[in-house]
Each structure stands twice: as structure tokens, then as C-alpha cells.
Amino acid sequence: MPRDLEIWRIPIVRSADLDGLTSSLDDHERARAADFSDAAARRRYIVSRAATRCVLGRRMGVRPGEVRIAIGRYGKPYLPSRPDVQWNLSHSGDLALLAVARGRSVGVDVEKVRPELDRAAFARRFLPTEDAGFVDGSPELFALLWARREACVKAAGGRLAQGLRLPVGGPSPALVRDPVRILSGTWLVLDIPVPPGFRAAVAISA
């Protein structure tokens, strides 16, 4: 793991004090939390966002509620006052991951393994040939390759559709580049240990 990269695992605790955690969010986050009709999704959003603010606030020397977060193109969040602190958040089910890097763009993604998904059909339609052959019989590997791909796209600040053809198969760590140069840059991609039933990866600019 690079020395300038931190990975935080955030459990979505069902007994969390949501009212207390919501008080640390900004107006935009509180409004978005209120829009969730599903209670589990609302809890996941509030807990992961509040934890993110806690980690970033320590880095910046301010209280969680004082962390100013802006949204860039394609929805990637950033800190206007601290461009040296790069971060990214992902959640799936009852697990969230936060990646924080110093001076390098970073993306993280966690995926719940979904055995019911028609992986072969999906891979044939969306994935490069070199990746499609890996995932036919393995829901775990499919989730891992998808997490690697999303992590790269998030690190680049792009849209998922732009990264569907990224070649992310093979061992970890790996250097990934977009062969058609829709997404510029090179990313170091590493798999992240997570509980059974999940797969996760982080990408950091190389």
C-alpha cells in the first residue's frame, strides 16, 4: 500500500444515532438524506458521510461540520480549501470504504457479490474481451473487476460509461491505462481486503 494512501472501513451500524450524525452534515447532505424513502439507504448515507467528515476534519484540523465539500464534474466530491487532500467514498450493503490520499487523485469502490447476476451476458455487452473471459463462472471475480473499474473511473473523475472498456484483469497491484484514452492518466490499482460477500479495490494516480 502506498505510504500516502489511507483506507478506512466504515461499518454501517444499525444502532447509530442518526440525529446526532446528521447534525455534522451540511445543508445539501441533510436535504439528500431526507429524500431517501428507504430507511436502510438513508442510514447508510448518513453514517458514511458523517464518518467521512470526521476523518477529513482531523486531517484539516477542523470540526466535522466545518468541512466544506464541493462537487466536481460528474459528481466527484473534493475539498476546495485543501486540494492536497484527495478522497473518495464508496458503500454497498452495510459496508462503506473511505480512501484518503495526499496529493494524488484517488478512487475507491466496494461491491456486494451478486450470484444472481447474469455475468456472462453483462460481460459480453459491456466489458473488454480480455476481462469477459474471467468472470463467467465467478460472481466474486466479477464483483472484484467491477470494483477495480469503478475505482479507476472515480479516480479519474469520469463517468462509468467512459471506463467500461478499461482492462483491469490480472493480479493486484496493477497499472491501468485507458487504451483508447477517453480517460487520461495511469492508475495504480490494488485490491482491498473486505469481509466475505464483498469485493473492493482502490485506484490512485501513478
pLDDT of residue 107: 96
Cα separation, 46 vs 13, in Å, equals 11
pLDDT of residue 170: 84
Last residue of a domain, one of 102, 126, 159: 102
The mean pLDDT value for 80-108 works out to 94
Query: Could you report the per-residue pLDDT of 114-154, keeping only the tens digit for each?
Result: 887 777 777 777 777 766 666 666 888 889 989 999 999 99
Spatial CA neighbour of 152 closest among 184, 122, 128: 184
- 114 with 98, same domain: the answer is no
- 145 with 87, same domain: the answer is no
- 115 with 181, same domain: the answer is yes
- 57 with 114, same domain: the answer is no
Query: Could you report the per-residue pLDDT of 151-190, keeping only the tens digit for each?
Result: 999 999 888 888 877 888 888 999 999 888 888 889 999 9
Cα separation, 36 vs 61, in Å, equals 31
pLDDT of residue 139: 86
With 80 as the cut, is the pLDDT of residue 3 above it? yes
Domain tally for the chain? 2
- 122 with 199, same domain: the answer is yes
Q: Which domain holds residue 166?
A: 109-205
- 87 with 115, same domain: the answer is no
What CATH code is carried by the domain that includes residue 9? 3.90.470.20
The mean pLDDT value for 188-205 works out to 96
Query: Could you report the per-residue pLDDT of 20-72, keeping only the tens digit for each?
Result: 999 999 999 999 999 999 999 999 999 999 999 999 999 999 999 999 999 88
pTM more than 0.75: yes
- 90 with 120, same domain: the answer is no
Largest CA distance in the chain: 49
| SS3 track for the chain | CCCCEEEEEEECCCCCCHHHHHCCCCHHHHHHHHHCCCHHHHHHHHHHHHHHHHHHHHHHCCCHHHCCCEECHHHCEECCCCCCEEEEEEEECCEEEEEEEECCCEEEEEEECCCCCCHHHHHHHHCCHHHHHHHCCCHHHHHHHHHHHHHHHHHHCCCHHHHCCCCCCCCCCEEEECCCCCCCCEEEEEEECCCCCEEEEEEEEC
- 114 with 201, same domain: the answer is yes
Q: Are 73 and 157 in contact (CB under 8 A)?
A: yes
